[in-house]
Chains A and B, each alone.
Chain A
């Protein structure tokens, strides 16, 4: 479980993170969204014990990070956004070097674990040194490094940024598998579609403050509605549509052949529209209400 209490970080008098209170349950896949400079990376760095908070605290599985950074690092895995390795060493040598810091692993365990992970990220059999890796290969090696100690909590910063479609697919599968094993996963990403596909809870941060939190549906309902008061109803018919009137209709935009109309309304008028068209003998091809996407929610929040 991940918890932050009034987490604050000040850089040169500016609050990068301002009184952040978060609680992520065990086994959750939490998506952390926010624009550049919102405080996502600073939050992650405090959570993984790389920087100390100015105020407040981070608690991971009942261990306060600032007080026991090494203990926390022993149970977490971290994939940085711009992950890097030693270019003069192979993937195996890099992982072996990092694995040696974990007290619980002896030489045989290290070897076995590294072989498993390289196979998992499809870097097994790659003998070239890491200096010659593509960014995608680097990213996959970063994922393997984050999983070295079989962590209870995993922090992934832009995990699919450099992956090819096959890599993205494998990453999604792996994330689900890890979640099924009871691991808590914290994902920071700009790729909204990716977050919506993988995460079961989402938090949105802006200017160092958490401004929204919940499941994707909850966010869509709360923020989507709040962001755009009006609804968009799209109607397509087999023959030209008659003019539809209602006091809640704000505007109606017809296509040239009048077979399609986009109605902006104050309320959900689908029942009224279908009755009207039925009475006038117009056959409906399709009628749908446009729901806000995660991107709409995201943008509406930031544009406020």
Chain B
């Protein structure tokens, strides 16, 4: 394959995206909302930091505190938790807007014939379009991350090396998520007769994968798992605790565990084919590693007043450990992009040019 044609197409596509009005408008909206979300996240982070400091001072004041218990210092990655929800919506819309007419518009304006009359292979064209779009998405994500870092510095927060690594991973995962929708849009642009149909079909897929599938998964899980086990009918009295009631309680707890495990397996099976759910899982664990204990750990978990999990004072897992747990979700996102790019590639190569 001649790389010259590929890079020429990619270069033109990259410049075309960056100078197109729709890209500029959606990117501007995305950056503004991300910056606002960052600001919101900063407030949340500062509150958590205040709590942490209060807890520390209480530990120092209270005598006889159990040795070894230390509250977990909040990470600045919490700020990015707020950003991820906007990436999931506006970022996906940006990716769809970039991809839905990449091929269909060329067919409509007849520029594809002019392009194919030049000495360039078809695969260079489709790969160049994919590469140009990917670079534009990387540009958008890097810009968003640089703005977020600037906001952190404005608030006099300097990320540690570990946090910088987590931000980098967050950025990469976000790009892979955006690529999944870009690939879907590109595929629809290749198979659809016109850009209007391509956009509608892509939005339908976006809705199905992003909203409908998780709801269906949850409903199916509820139907398959049935009613939750009933709590044993006895009144718990610490003065009259019998061995029988203790065994009954243990059995109940085991049944509850099995019940929720079954539900989780079914919802996971649905969620793994939803880019949104995969991205949510990954970004949540990267941005709030303490949730790791609540979701995967054996210890008791708790939910804060703001609705976020915290892991009852356990040490937060490292980035590597978190990545080890969400590798399936990352792989699913990558497979999504690859499969849809592959369909677009094959369809474009076989496209009838008349």
Contact = CB atoms under 8 A, between A and B. Distances in A.
Interface of A: 41-42, 45, 48, 50-51, 70-71, 73-74, 77-78, 80, 82-88, 97-98, 100-103, 142, 145-146
A88 B113 contact: no
Given A42-B354, A103-B4, A73 B117 contact: yes
A74 B109 contact: no
A120 B113 CA distance: 23
Which of A45, A87, A100 has the largest number of chain B CB atoms within 10 A? A100
A78 B165 CA distance: 52
Contact of B111 (A48, A71, A85, A103): A85
A80 B111 contact: no
Interface in B328-354: 352-354
Interface string B315-333: 0000000000000000000
Contacts of B19: 88
B114 A101 contact: no
B20 interface: yes
A101 B354 CA distance: 22
A214 B119 CA distance: 32
A45 B116 CA distance: 10
Contacts of A86: 16, 109, 111
B111 A84 contact: yes
A84 B353 contact: no
B110 interface: yes
A50 B114 contact: no
Nearest to A148: B118
Nearest to A141: B114
Contact of B117 (A48, A71, A82, A88): A48
B12 interface: yes
Contacts of B114: 80, 83-85, 98, 142, 145
A57 to B, nearest CB: 19
Nearest to B21: A88
A98 B115 contact: yes
Which of B109, B112, B113 has the largest number of chain A CB atoms within 10 A? B113
Contact of B116 (A50, A83, A145): A50
The majority secondary structure among interface residues of chain B is helix
Given A45-B354, A50-B353, A102 B118 contact: yes
A50 B112 CA distance: 11
Contacts of B121: 70
B5 interface: yes
A142 B115 CA distance: 11
B225 interface: no
A204 B130 CA distance: 43
B128 to A, nearest CB: 11
Contact of A80 (B16, B117, B118, B120): B117
Contacts of A88: 16, 19-20
Contact of A101 (B4, B16, B109, B110): B4
A164 B116 CA distance: 27
A51 B109 contact: no
Contacts of A102: 118-119
Contacts of B4: 100-101, 103
A45 B353 contact: yes
B8 interface: yes
B109 A85 contact: yes
